[in-house]
A and B are shown apart, each in its own frame.
Chain A
Amino acid sequence: MRKLIVSGAIALAALVAGTGAVVLAAGTEAHPKHQHWHFQGPFGTYDRAAAQRGYQIYAEVCSACHSLSLLAYRNLMELGFTENQVKGLIKDIVVPDLNDDGAPIERPARLSDSFRKPFPNAAAAAAANNGKAPPDLSVIVKAREGGADYLYALLTGYVPFEKLTPAQVKEFAVTKDDNFNIYFPGHKIAMAAPLADDKVTYTDGTKATLDREAADVTEFLAWASEPWMEDRKRTGVRVILFLLALAGLMYAVKRQVWADKH
């Protein structure tokens, strides 16, 4: 019987693992390398300094095309900014609203406002970007296979046209106007390389290399996808310790109860 239980457990584990290991559609894109993230593992937390720099990248670079509609400016306080710092960050941002007579106006953003969208709607976003609307970034890290590793790989995976081999140019029919990315499915990506060395000047004095920028904005977007992650892990540790204690006691009780039947 024991053998059977073990085989059953293995079969079940295989079934569960099998579903997780969904094979990516056959393609030539490289598999993103695993990076070490501050937020990984059962006790990992967000690197606040990196995520704050990541917000600067989002604000100065990404936000021109990508919305972050599920976040509100008040959420930035969870990233370690004080209320006054956030008010400073958003002092020049205006958001659309209606006045008392129902006419559309723009007014200064408040803490309770959602992040300003770069385009009024999806159709306008597509029209302004060669027919393909830039995706919202609110849950982008959860919405892509590979998560943070993929995002970082994508941001650092651009290859300039002149550095492509003739074979690559031929195989993927790349032209000078295409953006080639080794990690993007099909390689040709609508977004031009958004980051480069010294693309921004960090307010905290960190040197803005391409790798640093990509890692920082990924840290920020990982936080944006799941701001409650630290709470989740903390609660989880407590719950599991509690259940282990309860299981131990239950087992002792069960043994006591069954003592005369075994």
Chain B
Amino acid sequence: MATASVPAGGHGDPTRRDFLMVATGALGAVGAAAVAWPFINNLNPAADTLALASIEVNVQPIEVGQAITVKWRGKPVFIRHRTAQDIKEAVAVPMSELPDPQTDNSRVTDTAKKVRPEWLIMIGVCTHLGCVPLGNKPGQDKGPYGGWYCPCHGSAYDTSGRIRKGPAPLNLVIPEYLFTTDTLVRIG
């Protein structure tokens, strides 16, 4: 603080005194920073939350044409066992028709680069404003492109989960996943 000078006490050698002051101040600052860290770190995700950061799902019971929803990191994840027809339609779409061009193959590749066209795994959150699209359960409106349809503002997704029509700007997001066996997939 810049203040009117007040005669400070002490007749000790000024250099030694300054050194002591600076050393103490520096050590004190280090201590304060070290104390601050646990307080900040406390608000990070806890071990039980992190333990659920990746989940394993057994996809064996999902019949062709069916889909399930699992909860992952507090959000729904759609896992659809696609029919040959689904795949054919998805592959056939020309890139020029897509607002967010992505090939179907790139959306069904796991982190080991293995392509499994029959399994489509996506985060079930509309990229417009965060609603959960319909179409994952039997009997729900799949929308005009046979994939998913968001009832909030009318975004329609195709059988690859790509945005085709409506206000959503991007395709449904593909999380990182890995098939550890042919029927066991680890998401996250």
Contacts and interface: CB of A to CB of B under 8 A. Distances in A.
A249 B31 CA distance: 13
Contacts of B28: 246
Contact of A253 (B11, B21, B51, B52): B21
Given A72-B51, A112-B51, A112-B52, A246 B24 contact: yes
Dominant SS at the B interface? Answer: helix
Interface string B33-64: 01000000000000110011000100000000
Contacts of A260: 9-11
Interface range for A? 20 to 34
B24 A110 contact: no
A259 interface: yes
B8 to A, nearest CB: 7
Contacts of A252: 20, 24
Contacts of A191: none
Contact of B20 (A72, A100, A256): A256
Interface string B1-43: 0000000111110001100110110011001001000000000
A105 interface: no
A242 B56 CA distance: 45
Contact of B24 (A112, A242, A249, A258): A249
A249 B27 contact: yes
B60 to A, nearest CB: 13
Interface residues of B, number: 21
B68 A245 contact: no
A102 B89 CA distance: 35
B8 A110 contact: no
Contacts of B24: 246, 249-250, 252-253
Contacts of B48: 72, 112
Interface in A85-119: 100, 110-112
A176 to B, nearest CB: 47
A261 B27 contact: no
Contacts of A256: 10, 12, 16-17, 20
Given A100-B68, A257-B8, A260-B9, A245 B20 contact: no
Contacts of A112: 48, 51-52
A110 B10 CA distance: 67
A188 interface: no
Contacts of B20: 249, 252-253, 256
A212 interface: no
A233 interface: no
Contacts of B27: 242, 245-246, 249
A74 B48 CA distance: 9
Interface of A: 72, 74, 100, 110-112, 242-243, 245-246, 249-250, 252-253, 256-261
Give 4 closest A-B pairs by Cβ, nearest first: A112-B51, A249-B24, A256-B12, A259-B10
